[in-house]
Amino acid sequence: MPKYRLRINGSVRTVDSSDADKPLLYVLRGLGLTATKFGCGLGQCGACTVLVDGSAVQSCQTTVANARGKAITTLEGLGSAAKPHPIQTAFIDEQVPQCGYCTSGMIMSAAALLSQKRKPSEGDIRAALDVNLCRCGSHVRAVRAVMAVSGQRG
Amino acid sequence: MNAPVKTQRFSRRALLKGGALTVGFALTGLHKAASAQGAAAVPRVLDNKEVDAFLAVNGDGTVTVFCGKVDLGQGLRIAIPQIAAEELGIGIDKIKFVEGDTALTPNQGRTSGSNGIQRGGMQIRQAAATARKALIDLAAKRLNVAPDDLIANGGEVRPKAGGAGIRFTSLIGDRRFDLKLDPKAPLKDPASYTIVGKPLRRPDVASKCIGTATFVHDFRLPNMQHARVIRPPAIGATLISVDENSIKKFPGVKVVRIKDFLAVVGEDEWTTERAARTLRAQWSDWSGLPAQDRLADTMRADSGSTEQSLVTKGTLVAPQPRNAKKLAASYFWPMQSHGSIGPSCAVADVRADAATIWTASQGMHDNQVTYARFLGLPKDKVRLIYLEGSGCFGMNGHEDAAADAAILSRAVGRPVRVQWSRADEHGWDPKGPPQLLGITGVVGADGQILDWRTDMWIAQTTKGLLNIPLLGPQAAGLDNIVGLNTGLISQNGDPPYAADHIKVVVHWLKEAPLRPAPLRSPGKPANCFAVESFIDELAAAAGIDPIEFRLRSLKNPRGIELIKRVATMMKWQTRPSPGADTNAAVARGRGMSYVHYKHSETFVAMGMEVAVERASGKIKVERVVCAHDCGQIINPDGVRAQVEGSILQTLSRVLLEEVKFDRSRVLSVDWSSYPIMRFSDVPKLDIDLVDRPTEPPLGAGEAACAAVGAALANAVYDAAGVRLRTVPFTPERVKAELNSKAS
Ligand code: FES
Ligand code: FES
């Protein structure tokens, strides 16, 4: 079976796949990195968002072959309970998630935005998170968390 | 948020020691799955009339709370421990929480109807109060003092006058209370509360932000297989043939066919998924759905409906004054999906003599009965264990996915995980049923409501139905329940205001176009949309300001206070609707609505500020103001999150959502054919929570939903002078109304 070397959360992982088009999402979840969620498999909901070379990418729309050699970061790699990423801390402080199914994708979108723009406007935040659907209505808190982490507390 | 207490990580490890037996039960991670499966259940007391069913004082000084209701993201995991800790007199950090496990937690009914706190929480409060009284009595005997001289606090009972106390654990640690819940056990004075009423953090939030939370989607068992169920292309189609050779190239994937139930099962998830997409099967034709474009007319004309008078109040005063105005209007709320972001998923391990099912369903104990029935097992041999899911807001596909997994696990003799696709979830989740309402009313020049009649055409819930008919058992020809379950959709059909005469009649329909199920705040968003829109229509006909109109005939002081708060927050200008500039290119306006949920629960007043863009017909909701009174607030941040969610989700439903179908199938099968609200359309929310510590706590997860439709429709009328009576308020629909007004 063809092997793919991937750089995930800072370590090199080799995965077998008979299908070069296997979505990165399935690769990650298969490795036990289940914070990244399956929501639609169609690029419509953002639940599967991860960072690929620092940009927010929908992992259901990226193949294992395309991910080869790139730096992939999932929510697990962003920070840990002991050392959370500031955006994770902000999401906790604002108590953003309800069911939390969308949260991982939202945090990854926000992390990508913050790495490009230190002080995004509220409009920037909404635009960056627009791909992330949430059924529970955690939007207001998510925006507040991104504002807070960039030092823009109202 | 200023949380006085740091986030606690309640682990799901419920270490309870009952008598000589010790049981470790853990579900925190994949590697622990096996121990969860293998754990022998301690002989728990499950009778929900017993204190021991809800509480156990452990030898290590902690207290385990066993809750039959589940946390779906609405915060029970902190609110229930707050109630228990407060009433018992122990620190919140000493509480362990076990939820939704038919082998460990008592049956407290479905987690539905916004009753988690209101009923579930109050049962636990009563259990804790009974336990506290028992602990005090035990201590009184030991100390040889009167119980009245003792107080329970900080996990011990001690003399009020001071002096050494006795720890709960030395009074009853690791032993049972053997006590019935005492409805007369004295409750603490809310004025003395130190835990209830605080915005403590929800314990699951951190793990969801760090990535360590285990959703049912993430749960794995050793030796488990992955499965996909293939639903027919038309809803009632039967399976004619399957070409198993068509998936030969996918190693390890097998077809399972039981009558019309078709699935593929394999070792690797992606390979199984591809096989499911590739499998060739032939299905019969079927086209039994009604025509969608005539749905409202079909419902109204249904000759099979039965009529029931729900409300008759007052007497009609005749003759009515000459200047009275008579109005009539119809309102329609379409079929909608639960729209869960994660398609349903479940894991089942079914053996010859027992079954364990991991599910995110809201109804553990109900499902136990239903699943035992189609599996042909005794009820107590079927164990359901709750795991987090994607917010479901009623019955989405969770119940079905769990049944699918159970059927397949039995068929293959191994644990099976079933994951639905996006199209499965949108196409096959049971739907919030359509609702048609007709209202006629007579209003006097002074704003007095002289006559009111509501007619509703809605599908009737079959009496005594514990669940909904499940897709898997139905297709496989297994024992399945028959009937409809829509939730309590006929409530709030009458206005909460004084009127000379009110009548509400329901025309019960025997069928719904697609399989119905309760969807958040069942029926009330539609009924309150109609009632509170019509109130506005009456106010406009009488030329009276909408708030003024309501206050003239509203008697309930809690309701009056909320409406006044909304008026203040919005700097409401008293004038009749519509406003002056309804023809502006971007017309701006404000509207409001008021709801007394189920006429006996939470109070909500809601105001909205909107902009209606004439050229596109697009409604931009700029601000939502909500005053909310759910009695005693257990956790204000939890309530606030629920109200935020209720508003945003229902705005999405009102602005965008309608399940489209043709004569054979659902056509809204993804997020582009069934769009929901996105970040760019989220308005500013101003929420004012009124806490009434001495009143009973009421639900906070639904009531605000009911106020959304009318507040929005009334604001649009105020802005643009058009009355929207059909949901969703899509730009096309708004434009059509604007054009017909102009011509
Ligand atoms: S799962 Fe990838 S965008 Fe929805
Ligand atoms: S928190 Fe439930 S979907 Fe966003």
pLDDT given for residue B322 in this prediction:
85
Q: What is the pLDDT of residues B599-649, one digit of tens each?
A: 999 999 999 999 999 999 999 999 999 999 999 999 999 999 999 999 999
Interchain CB contact of A121 with B (< 8 Å): no
pLDDT greater than 90 at residue B708: yes
SS3 state of residue B42? coil
- Inspect the interface and report whether the beta carbons of A78 and B211 lie closer than 8 Å: yes
Of the pLDDT bands very low, low, confident and very high (cuts 50, 70, 90), residue B114 is low
pLDDT greater than 70 at residue B28: no
Of A42, A52, A102, best ligand 1 pocket probe by most atoms within 8 Å of the beta carbon: A42
Edge to edge, the sheet with strand A71-73 lists A11-16, A3-8, A71-73, A49-52, A55-58
Range of the domain at B593: 435-742
pLDDT greater than 70 at residue B211: yes
pLDDT greater than 90 at residue A153: no
Angle at B207 between CA B400 and CA B63, to 5 degrees: 90
Residue A135: which of B213, B269, B391 has the nearest Cβ?
Answer: B391
pLDDT given for residue B259 in this prediction:
98
Cα–Cα distance for residue pair B688/B691, rounded to 1 Å: 10
Nearest C-alpha of chain A: how many angstroms from B347? 15
Strands (E), B616-664: 619-629
Asked if residue B70 belongs to a domain, the reply is yes
Residues A72 and A124 placed together within one structural domain of the fold? no
pLDDT greater than 90 at residue A141: yes
Percent share of chain B, pLDDT over 90: 87
A6: β partners? A13
Asked if residue A24 belongs to a domain, the reply is yes
Residues A100 and A144 placed together within one structural domain of the fold? yes
Residues A66 and A9 placed together within one structural domain of the fold? yes
pLDDT given for residue B115 in this prediction:
73
Residues A67 and A10 placed together within one structural domain of the fold? yes
pLDDT greater than 50 at residue B358: yes
Residues A124 and A60 placed together within one structural domain of the fold? no
Nearest C-alpha of chain A: how many angstroms from B18? 32
Residues B174 and B159 placed together within one structural domain of the fold? yes
Residues A11 and A28 placed together within one structural domain of the fold? yes
We report the CATH number of the domain holding residue A96 as 1.10.150.120
Interchain CB contact of A139 with B (< 8 Å): yes
Residues B622 and B700 placed together within one structural domain of the fold? yes
Interchain CB contact of A85 with B (< 8 Å): no
How many domains is chain A built from? 2
Asked if residue B326 belongs to a domain, the reply is no
Cα–Cα distance for residue pair B461/B509, rounded to 1 Å: 9
Tally A–B CB contacts below 8 A.
178
Q: Which spans in B327-419 are helix H? A: 364-375, 398-412
Q: Whose CA is nearest to atom 4 of ligand 2?
A: A134
pLDDT greater than 70 at residue B335: yes
User: Given A19, A49, A77, which residue is the final one in a domain?
Assistant: A77
- Roughly what angle, to the nearest 10 degrees, separates helices A139-149 and B636-656? 120
Residues A54 and A107 placed together within one structural domain of the fold? no
**Torsion, CA A92, CA A95, CA A98, CA A102, rounded to 10:** -50
- Give the length of chain A: 154
For residue B679, which of A48, A39, A125 has the smallest C-alpha distance?
Answer: A125
Q: Which spans in B505-590 are helix H? A: 524-542, 546-553, 557-569
Q: Dihedral of CA B487/B357/B35/B253: which sign?
A: negative
Tell me which of B128-132, B161-165, B666-670 is least confident: B161-165
User: Given A31, A59, A77, which residue is the final one in a domain?
Assistant: A77
For the segment A118-141, the average pLDDT, to the nearest whole number, is 97
Nearest C-alpha of chain A: how many angstroms from B520? 11
For the segment A112-135, the average pLDDT, to the nearest whole number, is 97
pLDDT given for residue B6 in this prediction:
30
DSSP A65-124: HHHTTSEEE-HHHH--SSS--HHHHHHHHTT--SS-TTHHHHHHHHHHHHHH-SS--HHH
Taking CA atoms, A13 is separated from A72, B29, B528, in Å, by 11, 21, 55
Q: Whose CA is nearest to atom 3 of ligand 1?
A: A43
Residues A106 and A59 placed together within one structural domain of the fold? no
Residues A10 and A71 placed together within one structural domain of the fold? yes
Query: pLDDT averaged over chain B?
Result: 92
User: Given B180, B209, B238, which residue is the final one in a domain?
Assistant: B209
Q: What is the pLDDT of residues B389-411, one digit of tens each?
A: 999 999 999 999 999 999 999 99
Nearest C-alpha of chain A: how many angstroms from B77? 12
Residues B617 and B530 placed together within one structural domain of the fold? yes
We report the CATH number of the domain holding residue A32 as 3.10.20.30
Cα–Cα distance for residue pair A144/A153, rounded to 1 Å: 8
Chain A CB contacts of B682 under 8 Å are 126, 139-140, 143
The set of protein residues with a Cβ atom below 6 angstroms from ligand 1 is: A 38-41, 43-48, 58, 60
User: Given B181, B209, B237, which residue is the final one in a domain?
Assistant: B209
Asked if residue A68 belongs to a domain, the reply is yes
Residues B114 and B240 placed together within one structural domain of the fold? no
Interchain CB contact of A38 with B (< 8 Å): yes
> For residue A41, how far is its CA from the centre of ligand 1 (angstroms)?
5
Of the pLDDT bands very low, low, confident and very high (cuts 50, 70, 90), residue B43 is low
Residues B144 and B265 placed together within one structural domain of the fold? no
Residues B275 and B352 placed together within one structural domain of the fold? yes
Residues B237 and B184 placed together within one structural domain of the fold? no
Residues B223 and B195 placed together within one structural domain of the fold? no
- Inspect the interface and report whether the beta carbons of A95 and B388 lie closer than 8 Å: no
pLDDT given for residue B319 in this prediction:
78
Range of the domain at A129: 86-149
Residues B558 and B693 placed together within one structural domain of the fold? yes
Residues A20 and A58 placed together within one structural domain of the fold? yes
For the segment B11-15, the average pLDDT, to the nearest whole number, is 32
How many Cβ atoms sit within 10 Å of the Cβ of residue B659?
Answer: 24
Which ligand approaches the C-alpha of residue A46 most closely?
A: 1
User: Given A77, A107, A129, which residue is the final one in a domain?
Assistant: A77
Residues A95 and A64 placed together within one structural domain of the fold? no
pLDDT greater than 90 at residue B27: no
Residues B662 and B614 placed together within one structural domain of the fold? yes
Query: pLDDT averaged over chain A?
Result: 96
Asked if residue A154 belongs to a domain, the reply is no
Contact between residue B100 and residue B69 where contact means Cβ atoms under 8 Å apart? yes
User: Given B428, B458, B484, which residue is the final one in a domain?
Assistant: B428
Residue written as tokens 């705040």? B521
Asked if residue B614 belongs to a domain, the reply is yes
Q: What is the pLDDT of residues B465-524, one digit of tens each?
A: 878 999 999 999 999 988 999 989 999 999 999 999 999 999 999 999 999 999 999 999
Chain A CB contacts of B685 under 8 Å are 140
Q: Which ligand 2 atom sits nearest the alpha carbon of residue A99?
A: 2
Interchain CB contact of A86 with B (< 8 Å): no
Asked if residue A48 belongs to a domain, the reply is yes
Contact between residue B629 and residue B603 where contact means Cβ atoms under 8 Å apart? yes
pLDDT greater than 90 at residue B39: no
Asked if residue B309 belongs to a domain, the reply is no
For the segment B518-532, the average pLDDT, to the nearest whole number, is 97
Asked if residue A128 belongs to a domain, the reply is yes
> In sequence order, what are the residues at sequence separation of 6 or more whose Cβ sits closer than 8 angstroms to the Cβ of residue B35?
B24, B25, B26
Asked if residue A26 belongs to a domain, the reply is yes
Asked if residue B294 belongs to a domain, the reply is no
Taking CA atoms, B94 is separated from A101, B8, B58, B91, B173, in Å, by 28, 10, 10, 5, 13
Chain B CB contacts of A139 under 8 Å are 648, 677, 679, 682
Q: Which residue of B has its CA nearest to A108?
A: B209
Chain A CB contacts of B250 under 8 Å are none
We report the CATH number of the domain holding residue B391 as 3.30.365.10
Asked if residue A20 belongs to a domain, the reply is yes
Interchain CB contact of A126 with B (< 8 Å): yes
Q: Which ligand 2 atom sits nearest the alpha carbon of residue A96?
A: 1
Residues B389 and B530 placed together within one structural domain of the fold? no
Which ligand approaches the C-alpha of residue A37 most closely?
A: 1
Nearest C-alpha of chain A: how many angstroms from B43? 32
Which ligand approaches the C-alpha of residue B72 most closely?
A: 2
Residues B490 and B389 placed together within one structural domain of the fold? no
Tokens of B293: 């474009």
Residue B422: which of A41, A81, A88 has the nearest Cβ?
Answer: A41
Residue A101: which of B211, B271, B390 has the nearest Cβ?
Answer: B390
Cα–Cα distance for residue pair B574/B568, rounded to 1 Å: 11
> For residue B402, how far is its CA from the centre of ligand 1 (angstroms)?
23
Residues A107 and A45 placed together within one structural domain of the fold? no
pLDDT given for residue B304 in this prediction:
87
Cα–Cα distance for residue pair A40/A61, rounded to 1 Å: 10
Asked if residue B269 belongs to a domain, the reply is yes
How many domains is chain B built from? 3
Cα–Cα distance for residue pair B681/B677, rounded to 1 Å: 6
- Inspect the interface and report whether the beta carbons of B422 and A75 lie closer than 8 Å: no
